[in-house]
Every structure is written in C-alpha cells, then in structure tokens.
Amino acid sequence: MWPASPDRGGALHGVKVVDLTRVLAGPLCTQFLSDHGADVIKVEPPTGDETRQLGPPFDSRGEAAYYGSLNRGKRGIALDMGQQAARDVLHRLLADADVLVENFLPGTMERWGLGFEDVLSKQYPRLVYCNISGFGPDGPLGRLPGYDAVLQAMCGLMSVNGDAASGPTRLGVPMVDHLTGYVALSSILMALHARHRTGTGQRVEASLFDTAISMLLPHAANWMASGKTPGLLGSAHPNIAPYDKYQAADGWVFIGILNDGQFRRFCAHIGQADLATDERFATNPQRVINRQALRARIEPALAMQPVAVLSDGLMRIGVPAGPVNDVAQAIGQPHAQHRQMVIERGAYRGIRSPAVMHGTPAQAGDAPPLFAQHTTDILRGLGLNEQEIEALVSTGAAPSQR
C-alpha cells in the first residue's frame, strides 16, 4: 500500500483512482473525484501532461496556469508505459484501486497488454475502467484523435454560435471537453453504485463526439421537427424572445424572458407597457416570429439605463437579467465571493468544484503535483526497496522529478 493521502473526508473518501489522463476532460473528471475525497494518483508519461506547457501565464513554480486549474489534490508519478517495468508498477497501483481513468487513443492499452476485457477485468474484477476519447473505439471515425474545437466544428456547435459578421465561431470555453469530463464522472459514479449491487466493476466510455452531439439542444430537436437547418443567431435563442444581449447606457446586459408574465412586467418596467398588448408580441411564438420588430422597440428604452440599475431592477421584479461581465468581473462579484468559488492554498488559486454536498462537503487538496513529485513515496508505499526504486528511475521506467 502507498501512503494514504491526508483524510479530507468527502463523499468519495476511501475511493482510490489511478489517473492516466492528460489535457482537460480526464484531469477535470479526476480533480472532481479528488475534491470529494478520492485518493487520486496522477500517472504521467515521461514527457509530462501537455498542459504543463500551455502558457503563458505560468505560476511561481513554472507550471502553466492551465495545468494548475485541473490537477489539484493529486499525487504525481511518471511512468514510461513502453517499458515492462513501468507496466509492472501500474499493476501494483491497480491491486487495490477502485477506478482507472485513461484517455489514450483507443487500442493503446491493448497494445501494452493492459486491455480491460482481456486482462484488467480478469485480474481486478472490481475495477471501474473509464476510457475518454475523441470518437470512441470503432466506427468510421473510431480511434482517431479529437480535440474540443474540432468537435465543436464537426458536430454543429459552431454553426449555431456567432452572427453574420463573425460567421461560425468556436465557443469561448472548451465546453465539449468540460462536459465530457462530467460525462466521465457521472459514468464512473454510476458504475461504482452498480458495483455495490453486483460486486463487479465495468468499462465505461465518454467520447467528445457523443458529448458534442448531445449538446445540440434545442437545435437538433428544432431541425427534426421542422426540417429547417438552424443558423447563426448571435446571443439570441431560437425558441424564445426576448432572450438576448442588449446595449445599455454603459455596457451590455443580457435579458432572458421565458413567459408572458415576465414579458408584461418587463414592458411595464422599461416604460413600454403597450408592447404586452400588441398582438405581434403578446405570446412567445409571436415574439419569436417578430423578434426583429420587438428588438427595434425595446432597444431605445434599454439604451437609456445603466447596466447595474437595469439588471438589478428587472431581477427584483422576477425578470432574469444580468450584466455581461468579463472574467475578472465574474470572479470578483460579491455573490461569487459569498459562494466561495475561489480556492486558495498558499500560492495556489483555483475555482472550486461546483457540487455542494452538505453532509459530506468537498475539501480541495493541495496544489497540483510537480512532475513526478511523489514518485519515491508512491513506490515505497507499493513495497519497493531503495534499490528497486533506483533501478526504475535510472532506466527511465519511472522518471524522477525534473
């Protein structure tokens, strides 16, 4: 047994995770597991996780901020899986692990003699094995590499994001990667729950392709029902109006009106009560059909009010509205502070996991590990002696900390 990580409690205390993932979706998934108490061992290749170099900016340790946002609370070791000695170490790690997560190209683990069906499920029948990939293991695109923005393009997300001036536009955050990480997380937790009943683990998959296609709501449903291919709407909603950003006196405000009662209150608040009785705008279907005429009527009234006054006033009467904040404004707003969204651990700062557990609260761990930071401690905990550890380091099977 390797030394146990500090007892941070949490819903997943006692769950042990071997994390072979890099970049975003996989590390996000395993960071969430760590935040909620799992003991996560991050296993990197000799070249390290690519996100260590995705900067600037870099932190005081020389690590990219990108890497730091996805790997807190883990312990780190590097293994050259091309060497049998490194694969032997992985088997030791798996001896009492609950979960293995990897995001290699499908077929890689099989080439190393570590396939789930043929090897791992037989040696470790309680193991939950999660593979994260671009397109899954088979089919016309199976086993090909995939990245967030490429999947946004291929799966139609860019086609409904942007406006006539910008053309199809990548979402400003890697949403496909993010949601795939949560799909992987959900699948792992469901498999662990099933294991309580059956006593055995299983293999689960999360692919960027499946995730991206699933994000086409409501656009796919609209196309299936109407036969009309959705297009660019900027910040507007295809099925709701007014649901868009508008220029106020000192910036942009987003207004989201879902029902007729909200629309009536909105019209009265901006001094345009007659709009609510205009047959072109009285119901949401009519407002969607006549969205341009509606926009022309409300824009002048909105442009006369400051963002803060307008959004606060609308929210107070039950009409969802908010300022279009930049990143600094979003993190700095009082409610983000009240919700304790920022984690600080010495020099480390990050965004907490969004799940709030009142009975078994999350407790974020230490700063993300430096490359191979915990190699010696982990190997000693697996029962290796100093001579065996030195052999692994000197041959590069378990590269030492840089």
Q: How far apart are CA 121 and CA 80, in angstroms?
A: 22
Q: Which of 177, 244, 278, 326 is catalytic?
A: 177
Q: For residues 77 and 41, give the distance between their C-alpha atoms in angstroms, rounded to a whole number.
A: 7
Contact of 366 with 72, CB cutoff 8 Å: yes
- Dihedrals phi, psi of 101, to nearest 5 degrees: -120, 130
What are the residues facing 342 on neighbouring strands?
A: 351
Nearest CA to 297 among 262, 271, 258, 264? 271
One-character DSSP codes across 289-312? HTHHHHHHHHHHHHTTS-HHHHHH
Classify each residue of 182-207 as buried b or exposed e, where b means 16 or more C-beta atoms within 10 Å of its C-beta: bbbbebbbebbeebeeeeebbbbbbb
Parallel, antiparallel or unpaired: strands 203-207 and 342-345: unpaired
At how many degrees (to 10) do helices 260-269 and 307-316 cross?
A: 130
278 annotated active-site: no
Count of alpha carbons within 13 angstroms of residue 155, beta-carbon side: 26
In this structure, are residues 122 and 200 in contact, taking their beta carbons and an 8 Å threshold?
Answer: no
Q: Return d(Cα 381, Cα 96) in angstroms, integer.
A: 12
* Residues assigned a catalytic role: 177
